[in-house]
Amino acid sequence: MKKNILFLFVLLITVVSFGQQKRDLKLNKKANVIEVVYYHDNGVVSQTGYYTLDGKLQGEWLSFDTEGNKVVSASYDNGKKVGKWFYWNDKTLKEVDYTNNAIASVSEWTNTSSLAVRN
């Protein structure tokens, strides 16, 4: 019962959060996930990623600003934050490592570093 209530709450938050954004959904039967693309009001892609069939975030999620520049690269495993996440802005790149859905470490570089690019 608690899981059902939690799922409905998460689903409601997701719908409300993205309810105003245009989105494309596509069932990937081979991977058993739902591929989703959200768009900014100007038509530029806002986010791309995957949901499990029970509504949990899965795999790589990418976020873009209104000009199409990548600002976040994230990874989920069955709704839990995993691996390395990258956050770009004009001056820095932040790398956040997640272990067991919690932050394990944070590193930061200036834009003059050639360690990672936005492509």
* Rounded CA separation 83/25 (Å): 25
Q: What is the mean pLDDT of residues 37-60?
A: 96
Residue-wise pLDDT for 68-77, tens only, equals 999 999 999 9
* Rounded CA separation 74/82 (Å): 8
The better pLDDT of the pair 27, 16 is held by 27
* Rounded CA separation 111/93 (Å): 7
Please report, for the chain, the start and end positions of each structural domain, with discontinuous segments joined by +: 21-110
CATH architecture assignment, domain 21-110: Single Sheet (2.20)
pLDDT at 10: 47
pLDDT at 67: 95
